[in-house]
Structure 1
Amino acid sequence: MELRAFEKEDYELLIGWIDSDKLNYLWGGPKFEFPLNFEQISRHCTQPEVLPFIFVVSGENAGYIELFKVAESHFRICRVFVSSGFRGQGISKQMLGQLIELAKEKYTTNVLSLAVFEQNTVARNCYESLGFSVISYEVGTRSFEGEEWGLLHMEKRL
């Protein structure tokens, strides 16, 4: 299992994975419109502060994850996604573990932060098991199909 750089050749893979409006919103929040397309991904991933990765398991592409540079020693984990064929196998925890190590070793990160929708209890439990704690709660800023989604901000000091 390893993280590798997300390249232009991988855009179609990600587009295929994000196959519904709700999944698109869960993955990318309001930043991306469904259907996801090459232009949106390119515009996002070519920003210098965005560091996107593919997680490879036994030679197969299993997930996508990003680091976003907030400040010199503060990065944000964004857009965590595990493809449907790999869900329920603990892949997200392994992918996040590798990303945390990479952030610490390669980017000398002291603080990792992230945001997760309150109702995404599987993701929240995974983050908490890796040492992330809720530092704030945001309500009234995100909604999907008329349903309000609370946003939890979490942080881990390295």
Structure 2
Amino acid sequence: MRLRPYIHSHDFDKIKNWIQDERTHAMWCANHMKFPIEKENFAETLDKMYEKHGDCPFVAVTDDGRAVGFICCSFCAESKESMLAFVMVDPEERGKGTAVAMLGLAAKYCFELLGAEAVQLNVFDVNIPAVKCYEKAGFTARRLDKDAFAYKDEKWGRCNMVLRKA
């Protein structure tokens, strides 16, 4: 597996179907985008995230070039921390270690190329499979903001998780 830059005209049609229900969509993007994902709105959101935080989108691809994951990375020189966001894996790849491998590649990119001392991400506490995946990739909980997000009649806590450079 390797990471390559996300190419909107090439990749969007593949990844748009990876999130198929509204609740999962909210867990993935905290409603920063419309549901279902629309091509223009997705591109606009990625542009805004780049302008605001420097987020760069990547696609995880298999050795034969098949897209299996999506992730955004940014870096804050002041704190020497990178942030991962919009982590998404093809549903057919779940449970196969694909997300853990993608997170490992993203962390390596952040540590070795960006010079990060730590890599962080946020995940909603109700997204237990994602929390377990991040823990398997070496992330540990740093902070929990209770009731940080409202989805319909639910209140979700936002857990900030961190992976420190070894």
Common fold by TM > 0.5: yes
Number of equivalenced pairs: 158
Please tell me the root mean square deviation across aligned C-alpha atoms, in Å. 1.6
TM-score by length of 1: 0.91
Cα deviation for residue 125 of structure 1 reads 1.9
Amino acid at match of 1:138: D
Unaligned runs of 5+ in 1: none
Percent identity for Structure 1 against Structure 2: 27
Cα deviation for residue 74 of structure 1 reads 1.5
> Does residue 66 of structure 2 align to residue 65 of structure 1?
no
Deviates more, 1:77-86 or 1:40-49: 40-49
Within 1, Cα distance between the matches of 2:72 and 2:108? 13
Identify which of 50, 54, 59 aligns with 1:54: 59
Within 1, Cα distance between the matches of 2:135 and 2:18? 25
Cα deviation for residue 23 of structure 1 reads 2.1
TM-score by length of 2: 0.87
Secondary structure class of the residue paired with 1:150: strand
Query: Does the Cα contact within 8 Å between 1:44 and 1:50 map onto a contact in 2?
Result: no
Paired position in structure 2 for 1:39: 40
Cα deviation for residue 88 of structure 1 reads 1.1
Within 1, Cα distance between the matches of 2:132 and 2:77? 26
Secondary structure class of the residue paired with 2:30: helix
Amino acid at match of 1:98: L
Paired position in structure 1 for 2:2: 2
Paired position in structure 2 for 1:79: 86
Cα deviation for residue 45 of structure 1 reads 2.0
Secondary structure class of the residue paired with 1:152: strand
Query: Does the Cα contact within 8 Å between 2:75 and 2:116 map onto a contact in 1?
Result: no
Query: Does the Cα contact within 8 Å between 1:137 and 1:153 map onto a contact in 2?
Result: yes
Query: Does the Cα contact within 8 Å between 2:15 and 2:90 map onto a contact in 1?
Result: no
Identify which of 120, 123, 127 aligns with 1:116: 123
Paired position in structure 2 for 1:11: 12
> Does residue 144 of structure 2 align to residue 137 of structure 1?
yes
Paired position in structure 2 for 1:29: 30
Cα deviation for residue 21 of structure 1 reads 1.3
Within 2, Cα distance between the matches of 1:7 and 1:44? 14
Within 1, Cα distance between the matches of 2:16 and 2:96? 22
Within 1, Cα distance between the matches of 2:15 and 2:29? 12
Within 2, Cα distance between the matches of 1:16 and 1:132? 27
1:111-158 Cα deviation digits (max 9, x unpaired) = 211111112222212222333221111112212221111111111221
Within 2, Cα distance between the matches of 1:131 and 1:87? 18
Query: Does the Cα contact within 8 Å between 1:65 and 1:81 map onto a contact in 2?
Result: yes
Cα deviation for residue 3 of structure 1 reads 0.7
